Structure 1
Amino acid sequence: MITYSGIHHVSLTVRDLERAKAFYTKVLGLNEIERPPFDFAGAWYAVGEGGQQLHLIVHEGETLRQGEINTRDGHFAIRVGSYKEAIAWLDRQGVPYEARPFAKAGFPQIYVLDPDRNIIEFNAEQYDGE
């Protein structure tokens, strides 16, 4: 049997690394971390305090999606401390989102697209909005 200790990282493909880095660093506020000297372009980010990471990989292949937010499509989720604060931050940054404060999942969710149309879910333990 395999014993799991958590998710180490999620990798996303991007076409324009500088545009993606601007989004993840300046808009979402993630901290870029050191990345090994691979022979392809990319960037790594720390997510939270538990050692989880987000890896961006430049790729021109056909794995990139074209459509709008579809929550059944591949995505990754980041747990946030406050649903209300996440909504306020996204509003200040001008990031369009799909808000689901009373989602059927049992916790509030917010969905956004990055510049390469990767879907990101932000969710909170509970709804703390008004």
Structure 2
Amino acid sequence: MIHYTELHHVSLTVTNLERAKHFYSNILCLKEIGRPNFDFPGAWYEVNGQQLHLIVLPTSQTIRQDKRLSSREGHFALRVKDYTETLDWLKKMNVELLEKPDSISGFAQIFCADSDGNLIELNVDRNDQG
């Protein structure tokens, strides 16, 4: 048996580091943290004790060719404090969105993607939708 304590990090491949850093730093408002001096480019972000790692690999097999938003494609989810505030911010930043405020999952969801098509779900308990 395996006993887990937490999810430590999620790694995503990107093709353009500056474009990706703009999205994760300025659009999603994540805090960039120090990263070891690997022999390949990338960036790390802190997300309430867990981490998101970006790895530049233009030949990655995990970069989606079809960039359309879909809640059924592989993605990672971040819990946000306020649905309406998050939705308004993303719209102000002109981010393409898939809104699911009444998802049968039990929480309100917003899906978006970075420039490489990596899907991100932002969700909130329905009682905290704002």
Please tell me the TM-score bracket, short chain as reference: over 0.9
Q: Secondary structure at the match of 2:92?
A: helix
Match of 1:78 in 2: 78
Consecutive unaligned residues of structure 2, counting only runs of 5 or more, are none
Per the alignment, residue 56 of structure 1 pairs with: 54
TM-score by length of structure 1 reads 0.93
Q: How many residues align?
A: 127
Which string of whole-angstrom CA distances, capped at 9 and with x for unpartnered residues, describes residues 97-123 of structure 1?
010000010110000010111100000
Task: Point out where structure 1 has 5 or more consecutive residues left out of the alignment.
Answer: none
Provide the alpha-carbon RMSD of the alignment. 1.0
Amino acid at match of 2:39: D
Matches within 5 A, 1:93-112: 93-112=93-112
Whole-angstrom CA distance in 1 between matches of 2:4 and 2:125: 22
Assess if the C-alpha contact under 8 Å between 2:111 and 2:120 holds in 1. yes
- State the shift of 1:16 in Å: 0.2
CA distance in 2, matches of 1:6, 1:126: 24
Residue 73 of structure 1, CA deviation: 1.1
Structure 2 partner of 1:126: 126
The SS at the match of 1:108 is strand
Aligned to 1:66: 65
CA-CA distance at 1:96 after TM superposition: 1.2
Offset of residue 70 of structure 1:
1.8
Give aligned-pair identity as a percent: 52
Aligned to 1:21: 21
- What does the per-residue CA deviation read over 1:56-114, in whole Å, with 9 as the maximum and x for residues that have no partner? 00012232102111211110000000111110110111111010000010110000010
State whether residues 70 and 98 of structure 2, in contact with CA within 8 Å, keep that contact through their aligned partners in structure 1.
no
